[in-house]
Amino acid sequence: MVNGVIRILNRPDQIVYPGRARALLVALLIALLGAGLSVAAGTLVSGQQRHLAEQAIDQRTALVTEVVKAETGRYVDTLRTVAAAAGAFTPLTKAAFTQAVTPLEQTRLAGATSIAFMVPATDEQIPAVQARWRSRGASGLVLDAKGSGHEHVFSIFSHPLDGSTAPATGIDATQAAAPAHALTESRRSGQVTVSDTYQLIRDTHLPASQRQLSFVLTAPVYGPAAVDGRRPFVGWVLMGLRGQDFIGATLRTITQDAADVRLRAAHSDATTATVAILRATAAGVRDLHRTRAVRVAQRSWQLDIDATSRHLPGARTPLGAITTGIGIALSVLLAMLVFALGSGRMRARAAVAAATAELRAAETDARRQSGLLTAVLDSVGDGVGVVDATGAFLLHNPAAKSMLGTGADTGDIATWQRHYGIFTPDGAAPFATGDLPLVRALAGEIVEQVPLLIRNATHPDGRIISVSARPLDAASGQAGAVAVFRDVTAAVRAEQQLAATAAALQAEVARHEADQAALRAARDELAVSKAYLTQVLDAIDVTVITCDADGTIVHANRVARTALPAGDRPLTITETTPRLGLTHPDGTPMTVEETPLARALRGEAVDDLEATVTPPGQPKRIIMLHARPLHHPDGRIVGAVASSFNITALREREAELQAFAGSVAHDLQRPLTVVRGFTELVRDDLVEQTGPTGHGVAGGAVAPARTVQLEQVRHLDRVLAATARMTRLIDDLLTYAVARDGAVTLRPVDLHDLAADVMAGHLAAAAADLASPIPQIYLGPLPSVCADAPLVRQLLDNLIANAIKYTPPGQAARVDVTAHPAASGWVRVEVADRGIGIPSGEHQAIFAGFHRATTAYAGTGLGLAICQRIVARHGGTITAGDNPGGGARFAFTLPAAPIRP
């Protein structure tokens, strides 16, 4: 237009009047000002649309994040519930497991392939574990171990959840690192654990195009609480999930195919893997990006959302450009009108004609712009409705009609509620007509974001919309009101779900706080109990030392602290053993591996271990040691405890008593021998004088003298019997002393020949006694031993003699000497009889010195004590028990003789 004006001004055949030049200048200024304002208005509209798009992507990102959190939380809660149900069954069988997991088929766990029950087993435990679970319903179960030398984890029961996965049992889960690590972490923490992403073992046979990254959720299963309140570990419940199926089913509806969603998982090795990708079909550059962290069990995953702004509600549309174009066009038209009006009278008709043509062109352009504006309103996602002053609808764009759900409009305001099905947001009551936003706007009120529920035949489940309304100024040419509808159903439902989640979280927080209070109370009570136990341990005169699984001493009572070396850090048994000077009774140093604490850490129970100890700066002491391992509730050894007490004075008294007994025995043997010899001589003289018929030597002795001599012979017999008993007592005392302190010479001994020789002596003695029945002695095959032959002969002689001796009068003794399997390097021998047996409660006491279980039979009470000392000198053990069918049974062990090639 400016160029046209310049051309007119430059034409020589035209006369330019001053009034026309001013009109042209004013028209140019109006055109430029209108164009500037139009550009500013278009820029403002575009910026507002960009802001709305940012809000839309933020709302959608928050909704997607909360949905993923809620969905993963539902999976975790489901697995925790199944683990608790499995642990409640006693015992857990296949039928019980199926009963517990069958309801999961109705919960629509998207992406879940199957749920399985897993148990651990070492190589040695596999046969027993396989037999146990076969007996509980897993018929045909075969545990397929992969590798050896480590603990395996096998699937015992398996239940499909996707309708196509075949149950898989007997699979070793440790062949895949991801589930193996998750199982270990779940068992350690006692919580539901998610694994690194990987390909399920069952999916390795699928074509590459059908494979997808998957992960597993694991939860530990604990059995019913024991008497001490601890719940034993039983196994795991494991659920496999395919990532792409999980994210696709969960988010496709929420994103409305308007955004790309990618779920990434951080692995335990600090790498990141993409679990699943959901791509929108909508074309365009993804110019909006959001990233959020999502908590899945013990891990934090990342959710990436990319969207095209023009596909979002309230996003970019050509409305800004349209507004700018319309404004510029109107500015140009106004400028032209000003120029035309400013022209002189001479050009009035031409100006009117030109103006009329321009108006027609403007009308055409306005109609075109109106059509364009209508097209824009039809394309936006928000609904727009316009009514006149009477309530008749002038405009309803397609989005508004879709939200209202009715094809035809009604102009009767009183029927709006019933016609469109308008209710309060909770759906409990119809929405009052006077409170409707358009009704209030017709009354001149500005209404902002009033929530309504539309429920009719088109929307039977109801749709929540937010309505804002404004009155139309009558001065603009049309009285009435305009309303903007926005569908907020998804947002409201998400807020409701968030509120429910928040309430659940508040309840969980309250429960957690209660648990924390209980834990603090338990901790305080534990501290009091610990202090009380420490005082008790410090009050006793027994040494008590506790170490952890690494051998570090963690506690020592008062007596132990006086013996242990002082230090500014905890010491280990490896450091303290050399400083304490521990030795065996024979003087050989005790290695660290031989100490009671080290043996207890290997799982042994140590009792009555005698040793000598020489703490720094203290005299040597003889101590008696005991030790036990300490176990975790899951059965593993977490430490050990050892106790000891001083027996130095006891051993000194025993040595003095033994020396005294040996000295007395040797000093008494000689006078007893003299007494016995003289007594036998006097008795023999009296017997010869009396004669076999009772007459004197000369044949003329009278009856009274014979009677006196016979009485004297009986007295001498009593003296001889008493000296014999005294001799036996002295011999037993000497044997008892030699059995403990005498030198032991070890050499191969044929135990069978030695026992046969001992038995022959007893049979010969029994045959000479015509008043007693001959004993029945059975000698089975006996191996060779590495032992001191005289001591072993004494051992067998005492046991066989007791078996013959302690038999009811008139009954033939029955003795069986047999050998039985024993630990490698040892021989176990049993001596059984059918005698009077051992009284109840005396089975251990009979091995004490001078102890007699019954006084009905003569004896010194040292025979079994001698046996116990002989066996102990050889490093073996001896026990007494009842013989089935009557009598007693003695069992002892001796070192086996080396096998010669």
Please tell me the least confidently modeled range out of 134-148, 229-243, 532-546, 733-747.
733-747
Alpha carbon distance 819, 830 (integer Å): 6
Query: Which one-letter DSSP state was computed for residue 625?
Result: E
Burial 10-24, CB ≥16 within 10 A → b, else e: eeeeeeeeeebeebb
Q: Categorize the per-residue pLDDT at 739 as very low, low, confident or very high, splitting at 50, 70 and 90.
A: low
Residue 409's DSSP bridge partners are none
pLDDT at 433 over 80: yes
Most confident of 319-323, 428-432, 819-823: 428-432
Residue with tokens 């539309």: 454
C-alpha–C-alpha distance, residues 390 and 413, integer Å: 8
Q: Residue 498: CB partners within 8 Å, gap ≥ 6? A: 66
Pick the CATH number of 384-495 from 3.30.450.20, 3.10.520.10, 3.50.50.60, 2.40.160.40: 3.30.450.20
Coil, strand or helix: which one is 644? Answer: strand
Distances from the Cα of 245 to the Cαs of 18, 211, 679, in angstroms?
A: 80, 11, 111
| Span of 350-354, 378-382, 567-571, 847-851 with lowest mean pLDDT | 350-354
Q: Which residue has the tokens 């008062």?
A: 558
Which of 159-173, 240-254, 295-309, 545-559 has the weakest average pLDDT? 240-254
| Tokens matching residue 333 | 């038209």
Fold of 540-646: Beta-Lactamase (3.30.450)
Contact 305, 60 (CB under 8 A): yes
Q: Which of 89-93, 241-245, 699-703, 707-711 has the lowest mean pLDDT?
A: 699-703
Minimal CA–CA distance to 469: which of 400, 378, 370, 372? 400
The predicted pLDDT at position 701 comes to: 47
Which pLDDT band, with edges at 50, 70 and 90, does 14 fall under?
very low
Pick the CATH number of 743-895 from 3.30.565.10, 3.30.390.50, 3.30.9.90, 3.80.10.10: 3.30.565.10
Mean pLDDT of 110-133: 90
- DSSP symbols for 412-478: -GGGHHHHHTEE-TTSSSBPPGGGSHHHHHHTT--EEEEEEEE-SSS-TT-EEEEEEEEEEPGGGT-
Q: What is the pLDDT of residues 549-560, one digit of tens each?
A: 998 998 898 888
CA 426 to each of CA 439, 489, 675: distance values in angstroms, whole numbers, following the listed order = 21, 12, 121
For the cut 80, the answer to whether the pLDDT of residue 313 exceeds it is no
pLDDT tier, 5 (very low <50, low <70, confident <90, very high otherwise): very low
Distance of CA 780 to the CA centre of its chain: 55
pLDDT for the residue 346: 45
Q: pLDDT tens digits for 663-695?
A: 666 666 667 777 777 787 778 877 777 765 444
680, burial (CB in 10 Å: exposed 0-12, middle 13-18, buried 19+):
middle
How is the chain split into domains, by residue range? 109-310, 384-495, 540-646, 652-724, 743-895
- Label residues 148-170 b or e (16+ Cβ within 10 Å = b): eeeebbbbbbbbbbbeebeebbb
- 698 confidence band (pLDDT: 50, 70, 90): very low
Q: Which of 374-378, 381-385, 650-654 has the lowest mean pLDDT?
A: 374-378
Residue range 434-491, pLDDT digits in tens: 889 988 988 889 989 899 988 888 888 888 999 999 888 766 667 888 888 888 888 8
Find the Cα–Cα–Cα–Cα dihedral 734, 735, 737, 738, rounded to 10°: 110
Q: How many CA atoms lie within 13 A of 455 on its CB side?
A: 14
CATH 3.30.450.350 is held by the domain 109-310: yes
Give the range among 203-207, 582-586, 677-681, 711-715 with minimum mean pLDDT. 203-207
Q: What integer pLDDT is reported at residue 237 of this predicted model?
A: 95
pLDDT: is 16 or 42 the higher one? 42
| Coil, strand or helix at 564 | coil
End-to-end CA distance of the chain: give it in Å, rounded: 126
**CA 686 – CA 684 distance, rounded (Å):** 5
Reference 738, options 666, 635, 685, 842; nearest CA is 666
Give the DSSP letter of residue 193.
E
> What percentage of the chain carries pLDDT values higher than 90?
15
Q: What is the pLDDT of residue 892?
A: 95
| Mean pLDDT confidence for 711-720 | 76
| Closest to 870 in 3D by CA, of 900, 901, 895 | 895
The 3-state DSSP class for residue 110 equals coil
Averaged pLDDT, 855-866: 68
Q: Please provide the average confidence, as pLDDT, over all residues in the chain.
A: 80
Contacts (Cβ under 8 Å, ≥6 apart) of 420 = 404, 405, 406, 454, 456
Residues 6+ apart with CB under 8 A from 213: 197, 198, 199, 243, 244, 273, 274, 275, 276
Output the pLDDT for position 546.
Answer: 94
Per-position DSSP letters for 846-874, written without gaps between them: GGSTT--S-SSS---S-HHHHHHHHHHHT
Same fold, 109-310 and 743-895: no
Where residue 824 falls among pLDDT bands split at 50, 70, 90? confident
Radius of gyration, CA atoms only, the chain: 53
At residue 603, the 3 state secondary structure works out as: coil
Backbone dihedral angles phi then psi of residue 835, each to the nearest 5 degrees? -85, -150
Residue 379: the pLDDT is 64
In angstroms, rounded to a whole number, what is the distance separating the alpha carbons of residues 410 and 686?
Answer: 155
Rounded Cα distance between 695 and 837, Å, is 49
Mean pLDDT of 168-176: 86
Confidence band (pLDDT; 50, 70, 90) for 20?
A: low
Q: Which two tokens stand for residue 144?
A: 């397929």
pLDDT in tens, 864-900: 888 888 898 888 999 999 988 788 999 999 999 886 5
User: What pLDDT, on a 0 to 100 scale, did the predictor assign at position 640?
Assistant: 94
* Contact status, residue 195 vs residue 178, Cβ threshold 8 Å: yes
Query: Which pLDDT band holds residue 703 (cuts at 50, 70, 90)?
Result: low
Above pLDDT 70, what percent of the chain? 81
What is the DSSP-derived secondary structure letter of residue 107?
S
Contact between 170 and 155 under an 8 Å Cβ cutoff? The reply is: yes
Range with top average pLDDT, 379-388, 650-659, 808-817? 808-817
Helix H or strand E encompassing 429: none
Tokens of 48: 């507002």
- Residue 9's pLDDT band, with cuts at 50, 70 and 90, is very low
**Residue 26 corresponds to which amino acid?**
V
pLDDT of 16 > 60? The answer is: no
Q: For 153-163, what is each residue's pLDDT tens digit?
A: 999 999 888 77
Least confident of 404-408, 693-697, 835-839: 693-697
DSSP label at residue 602: T
The pLDDT of 120-133, averaged and rounded, is 91
pLDDT digits (tens, 9 = 90+) for 32-65: 887 777 777 777 766 766 777 777 777 778 878 8
- Tell which residue, 209, 201, 206, has the closest CA to residue 177: 201
Q: How far apart are CA 451 and CA 425, in angstroms?
A: 6
pLDDT score, position 219: 94
